[in-house]
A and B are shown apart, each in its own frame.
Chain A
Amino acid sequence: MRVTFPHMGNIWIIVKTVLEDLGLEVLVPPRPNPKSLEAGVRHSPEFACFPLKLNIGDFVGALDQGAEAIVMAGGIGPCRLGHYAQVEAQVLKDLGYSAEMVVLEPPRGRFPQLWDKIRYLTGHRPVGRVIGALRFGWEKLKALDELDKVLALGRPAEAVRGSAAAAHRRAVASVCQAASIAGTRKAARAGAEDIALTAGASSGSVTLGPPRSRPLRVGVVGEVFMIQEPFANQEVERRLGEMGVETRRALYLSDWVRMHLLPPPVGLGARRRVRRIREAARPYLRHFVGGEGLDSVGEAVLHESELYDGVIHIAPFTCMPEIVAASLLPEVSRDLGIPVLSLFLDEHTGEAGLVTRLEAFVDLLERRRAVREGRADRQGIRLRGDAPAGGHGGHPVASRPSSPTPREAHGCPLVGFSGWRRGPR
């Protein structure tokens, strides 16, 4: 039975590792790309949210290459993910595919059901082997999340655009190839060092311009799929990184596993974090609204106390839980004074709007910080931004006009301009 599964960031490496370790034949679908998106959009219900459309695109790609079964995640609460697997099975059936859909529901404390599904998938291999494979997958998951975090810090510092990302790609490949837990750890350590060194070393050689102050730091919150899958979020993290901004996702997959799958005491810290998030959200939202809606609000609140400069909230268009969050975030922002930018994304690939928003948001954060730190006055130049971060060709942040008084009329007979005056109104 050749098994496939949907893409979500780096998750394919983990699923592939676990399933192959258990002796299954795995077919990894092509990474989401414009063609798979097109197929997904064509075959999905129009009103479905973006992740489902990408799932369908992945499945069609994999089934066309000969996959026979699909492992899909289930979901709970008022988020449509809970119904994805069923809708997707129907869509694929209508398209004439005859793939078996194995749905892994989140355990919510009831592990036997999940365990049964895993046992079914693995053809009742010895329990010890299954646990060993999961352990191995867990190690890779931790390693990949760690590499992502290092990249998010390294990218703003790199002097040659793309050098940190290239090091990251090398590191991911070596983690992917690692054949043991020890090998995975070693690859992760070496990879993280490589990324840090690539970014750090190259930035160390740049001595021009004034020394760079602490980079801006932005927390990325929102719907879990949209946050993890760079194709879906139009590479928000890369774009911000290249503008010199450090990013950190509110939730990495390993955090999710710690919170929901690992038994205490391993997952204790993560569970404590869940409680803190809920607690932080409490003044605004007191109950679960499905998906990550509650977490988005709570994380935004926590980010303020954790000295983040701003929060970017990402959600698929029409996502109910995140609509709830988005309607509360302005209040959070106003109360705590932390800027929040909500981005609802869909299948559109025109990036101009996104880039403009991100740039304006970064400008906003930069100026806000300059004012706060009183740098604006000290330098004698009103609200001037930092030096371009890491030589990315960043531009000095906009400043307030130096001469606020309206200019006197400055005759220009041909075009009839009379300078800067309030209009006739």
Chain B
Amino acid sequence: MAADGIYIGVDVGSVTTKVAVIGAEGDILASACLDTMGQPARQLMTGLAEVRDQLAAREPDASRTPGSGSVPVACPEAVAVLGVGTTGSGRTLAAALVGGDVVKNEITAHAVAALRLIPDARTILEIGGQDSKVILLRDGVVVDFAMNTVCAAGTGSFLDRQASRLGLDIREFSRLAARSTHPVRIAGRCTVFAETDMVHKQQVGHPVEDIVAGLCRALVRNYLNNLAKGKDLEPPYVFQGGVAANAGIVAAFEEALGGPVFVPEHHALMGACGAALLAKEAREAAEAEGRTFTTRFRGFGLSDLDYRTRAFDCRGCTNECEIVEVFLDGLLVARWGGRCERWERSTAAGR
């Protein structure tokens, strides 16, 4: 039975919310990727409903017998969810809502997912919507990392904004960059400088593909100068996150690093997959020790439930912590935000 279950990974990022379902063998069975749109809870529910439908739509595969590694799923109710992992900046909220077994930071989740794909990876470049990371691995262990959450210059938001300035769809942007023969030089340190440069270059008549390619190089330069400052980037390189879809950025990275950069097919899902893998490992580790592992997953029916969050300022002391409460179907399921133990107890009870 255990071999036929699934693991769910949830990655609630600032810009997108991802849900991935992996089988007991670690293969991806279903996934959803939605814009967070400032409503992580709602989008998470939508994502969960989407993967439920995908799982339900999977035809029972008659050619394989149960136990051969495939998962003949007729309807999601028949699938055993063995574990749930959450990651991303909204991981705590996600875990409270869905019932997470493993709550893990993005860096570890991304590293785990990349290592599964490329076991000898030594550098992970990750660029998401609103943050970017570099993770250094040696012998399959994270040895160093850096993360940028403040500056937009090295993130997907920057590209989105510049693409819309040029009136381009972000996909078109990627195609155009590949056609450039003479990328223009654009300042990469700050989006304001970049924009100034860009306007200048376009007004003096540079073709749009050269400007686009220049922007890609500027972003890569910014990333390498700020984030990877003082770090030894060694191949093999793995590039994940939403921005990895952009061929122009990939080309700019390959040029700057002087070697091939691997882009996983599901580059945007890597965080969610990593979270699912972590849940899988947590379960396997528990079982190896002879402990029983029961998932906290609240079930797929969850997406039909009513949920609500509420915040208030604690008046216990001058810290005035912002306490957040999460209600599911009117029941308090989690509460956090305090710096002291005052609001802790009920959390444990709610779980």
Contact = CB atoms under 8 A, between A and B. Distances in A.
A407 to B, nearest CB: 5
Contacts of A395: 102-104, 278, 282
Interface in A288-340: 327, 330-331, 333-334, 339
Contacts, number: 188
Contacts of A330: 230-231
B106 A400 contact: no
A356 B30 contact: no
A-side interface mostly: loop
A367 B142 contact: yes
Q: How many A residues touch the partner, as a band?
A: 35 or more
Q: How many B residues touch the partner, as a band?
A: 35 or more
B11 to A, nearest CB: 13
Contacts of B30: 412, 414-415, 417
Interface stretch (B192-200, B263-271, B299-307): B263-271
A330 B308 CA distance: 45
B107 A363 contact: yes
A337 to B, nearest CB: 9
A423 B262 contact: yes
Interface in B24-49: 25-31
A422 B340 contact: no
A352 B337 CA distance: 11
B339 A368 contact: no
B169 interface: no
A306 B232 CA distance: 26
A205 interface: no
Contacts of B89: 352-353, 356
Contacts of B284: 381, 402
B136 to A, nearest CB: 10
A209 B69 CA distance: 32
Nearest to B142: A364
Contacts of B31: 415, 417
Contact of A356 (B54, B107, B143, B262): B107
B294 interface: no
A365 to B, nearest CB: 10
A412 B57 CA distance: 9
Interface string A348-387: 1000110111011101100110010000000011111000
B241 to A, nearest CB: 13
A398 interface: yes
B328 interface: no
Given A161-B344, A396-B282, A383 B140 contact: yes
Interface stretch (B114-122, B157-165, B207-215, B216-224): B114-122
Contacts of A35: 320
Contact of B264 (A382, A407, A422): A422
B114 to A, nearest CB: 9
Nearest to A398: B108
B281 interface: yes
B145 interface: yes
Contacts of B317: 31
Contacts of B260: 425
Contacts of A31: 317-319
A412 B30 CA distance: 8
B180 interface: no
A407 B149 contact: no
Contacts of B115: 400-401, 404
Nearest to B117: A420
Interface string A148-168: 000000000000111101100
Contacts of A160: 341
B230 A422 contact: no
B117 A406 contact: yes
Contacts of B263: 422-425
A367 B340 CA distance: 29
Nearest to A329: B230
Contacts of B320: 33-35
B295 interface: no
Given A235-B339, A327-B230, A423 B264 contact: yes
A182 B263 CA distance: 67
B221 to A, nearest CB: 19
B339 A410 contact: no
Given A368-B143, A398-B108, A403 B281 contact: no
Contacts of A417: 28-31, 266
B28 A353 contact: no
A420 B344 contact: no
Contact of B141 (A30, A356, A367, A410): A367
Contacts of A165: 340-341
Nearest to B251: A425
A177 interface: no
B318 A30 contact: yes
A424 B244 CA distance: 12
B239 to A, nearest CB: 9
B331 interface: no
Among A34, A231, A357, A425, the one with the most B-chain Cβ atoms within 10 Å of its Cβ is: A425
Interface in A117-148: none
